[in-house]
């Protein structure tokens, strides 16, 4: 990598500010190219979160979409996957009863069960399309799980993606399979890229890209995977890949 390298931030519009600020402090060049957007979905009229024992969040976007409903949680406890998701729950005004350090949904369930939590009713807010985990492993462990699709992840304008002027020295930071699909659906070039985790890396390879993969799902690890050194100071914003199919 050279001093001319730019990091291309591809998360949804309005979700890149914290990362951009950290990159500015590190003196790393960056450009925002939002690849996805979130469209809200209708909410069931009989939704009653307080009837559940646990509400499990796997991404900050899932928390934001759920918080927008202004739900009454009652005695339901919040379990989260990752520090970024935990911070979103805290910002919504709810305590975090369990925070897994796992890399994916199956790992979350393994840690959750290891902590001694007994089977109960789980509400799983999130995207319309998601992987089978953590639902499958929770159900196998005896939990009753109700998925709550709150938004659909859609590509941004393909024409805008296609028109973006990228340089050969740029490196794209992909944070979800949806972003990879949006890019590959609008362009034929195969730029250098970093995937935030295994699910996103698999989507990159399916699109013909050859990603470097972050060790942990955060900006610090993505910068290291890009060969750009380390960020100064603490890096607290962990972002989990979208749990989508």
Contact predicate 233/25, CB 8 Å: yes
**Collapsing DSSP states into helix, strand and coil, what is residue 142?**
coil
Same domain, 46 and 119: yes
Q: Assign residue 58 the CATH number of its domain.
A: 3.40.50.10090
Q: Do both 84 and 28 map to the same domain? A: no
Residue 142 lies in a domain: yes
Together in a domain, 135 and 68: yes
The per-residue pLDDT for range 21-34, each reduced to its tens digit, is 999 999 999 999 99
Q: How many domains does the chain have?
A: 2
Domain final position from 105, 124, 153: 153
Compute the distance between CA of residue 213 and CA of residue 240 in angstroms, rounded to an integer. Answer: 13
Q: Cα(58)–Cα(99) distance, rounded to whole angstroms?
A: 10
pLDDT, tens digit, 9 for 90 and up, residues 166-182: 999 999 999 989 999 99
Domain that holds residue 85: 42-153
d(CA 14, CA 98): 27
Question: What is the model's pLDDT at position 105?
Answer: 83
What is the Cα–Cα distance from 10 to 35, expressed in whole angstroms? 5
- Whether residue 238 lies inside any domain: the answer is no
Rounded Cα distance, 87 and 37, in Å: 21
pTM: 0.77
- Say what the pLDDT of residue 240 is: 47
Percent of the chain past pLDDT 70, that is, above it, reads 93
Question: Dihedral (C-alpha) 150, 152, 156, 157: value to the nearest 10 degrees?
Answer: -120
Q: Are strands 36-40 and 144-155 parallel, antiparallel or unpaired?
A: antiparallel
Q: According to the model, what pLDDT value does residue 204 have?
A: 97
* C-alpha–C-alpha distance, residues 69 and 43, integer Å: 9
């Amino acid at each position: 990598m050279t001093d001319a390298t730019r990091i291309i931030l591809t998360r949804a519009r309005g979700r890149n500010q914290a990362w951009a600020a950290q990159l500015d402090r590190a003196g790393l060049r960056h450009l925002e190219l939002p690849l996805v957007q979130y469209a809200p979905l209708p909410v069931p009229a009989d939704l009653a979160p307080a009837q559940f024992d646990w509400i499990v969040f796997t991404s900050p976007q899932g928390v934001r979409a759920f918080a927008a409903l202004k739900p009454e949680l009652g005695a339901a406890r919040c379990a989260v996957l990752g520090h970024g998701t935990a911070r979103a729950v805290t910002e919504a005004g709810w305590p975090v009863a369990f925070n897994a350090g796992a890399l994916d949904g199956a790992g979350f369930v393994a840690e959750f069960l290891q902590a001694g939590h007994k089977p109960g009713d789980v509400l799983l807010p999130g995207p319309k399309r998601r992987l089978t985990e953590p639902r499958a492993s929770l159900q196998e462990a005896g939990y009753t799980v109700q998925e709550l699709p709150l938004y659909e992840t859609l590509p941004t304008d393909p024409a805008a993606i296609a028109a973006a002027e990228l340089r050969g020295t740029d490196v794209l930071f992909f944070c979800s399979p949806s972003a990879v699909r949006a890019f590959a659906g609008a362009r034929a070039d195969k730029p250098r890229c970093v995937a935030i985790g295994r699910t996103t890396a698999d989507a990159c390879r399916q699109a013909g890209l050859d990603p470097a993969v972050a060790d942990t799902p955060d900006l610090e690890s993505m910068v290291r995977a890009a060969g750009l050194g380390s960020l100064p100071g603490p890096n607290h914003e962990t972002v989990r890949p979208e749990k989508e199919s």
